[in-house]
Structure 1
């Protein structure tokens, strides 16, 4: 074989290897994108579940305070549960909208920006749900006690106020931990499918680099 023929064959082989490498990277990127889509679908299932729970709480709390108009402490119980249900509903709807806005066909940088917005929204939503949830168990417990014939406020107001004070203290402690350890809380909030999506997107960035 002549030297120029050898050089030509080598260049052809080199081009084929390079093309195969590009194709393998593309296939791996497509596979990662499909897995990302699956992980985000799993995350959306959790938000749909939260939406349903929020709707139940909102309806339950709303009907409770409306049915007990004229009894201030019962109205307060119902309003608290109603507000918690609305908070769950609102945060779930916002998260679902952000999840739906992630377009896997867009460039990686755009997807990263969408996920960054999703991350911030998720952390803020978790803060709201944690802090409000730390307090709302008190009215839920009072409503439950009344269903078995015990009106705790009429029987022992100090006990109700003591439980409420403890709930507020727990909520304040949770807020303090979130403020003092934002990285830990962010990791906790993004655990599960969303964390896996972030790792897979980092893998795609490495492939493209």
Structure 2
């Protein structure tokens, strides 16, 4: 075999090896991205349940205030519950949209950026909002249940409730203080990262780990 023939044969073999390597890498990437998509599905399912719950809460608030428009205290409680339910619809819907719009064929760096944005949204926006609202929303819920009892008994319990505003302020401030204290204790014990991982969700954490492995594998 002449030298030129050997060079040509070697180049053809090298080209085949390169194409085979590229095909193997593409198949490996598709397989891992499919696993990544499946790992994010539990987050979508969980947020879907929360979205439905938010709809039910909003409908409860609407039904309540619309049947108690003549009692401003009950009206305020119903509107507060409707507002909470509306937020409970918006936040899960946004999380679902952020997951469903991920392009798994995009570069790993772009997918990592999307997942990081999802984590930041859940930790820095969603958690503080629901941490504050969740610590006080039980108050109007309790008052709404009390109003149902008054409706059945046919009494007006609001007439002699002159101290109610002060009670609401004290109880609301106490609930917020307890929430803030718990957060401070978690940070003081060095568990802030654990708390943030819990808020972000195990699906997001596993996705970030997997993307990190893929990124390291891509490096020459």
Q: How high is the TM-score relative to the length of structure 1?
A: 0.79
> Gapped runs of 5+ residues in structure 1?
1-7
* Aligned equivalents of 1:45, 1:207: Cα separation in 2: 30
* Aligned equivalents of 1:75, 1:170: Cα separation in 2: 28
User: Structure 1, residues 107-162: CA drift from partner, whole Å, max 9, x if none?
Assistant: 11111111121111122112212221111112212222333448776578476665
> Gapped runs of 5+ residues in structure 2?
1-7
Question: How far did residue 56 of structure 1 move?
Answer: 0.7
Match of 2:176 among 163, 168, 171: 168
Is 1:74 aligned to residue 77 of structure 2? no
Residue 91 of structure 1 aligns to a residue whose secondary structure is: helix
Residue 137 of structure 2 aligns to a residue whose secondary structure is: helix
* Aligned equivalents of 2:96, 2:201: Cα separation in 1: 17
* Aligned equivalents of 1:51, 1:178: Cα separation in 2: 28
Is the CA contact 1:77–1:140 (under 8 Å) kept in the aligned structure 2? yes
Structural RMSD (CA):
3.6
Once the two structures are superposed, the pairs formed by residues 129-208 of structure 1 within 5 Å of their partners are 129-149=130-150, 157=164, 162-173=170-181, 183-208=193-218
Work out the number of aligned pairs and report it.
209
Between 1:187-196 and 1:97-106, the stretch displaced more is 187-196
* Aligned equivalents of 1:100, 1:68: Cα separation in 2: 40
Residue 143 of structure 2 aligns to a residue whose secondary structure is: helix
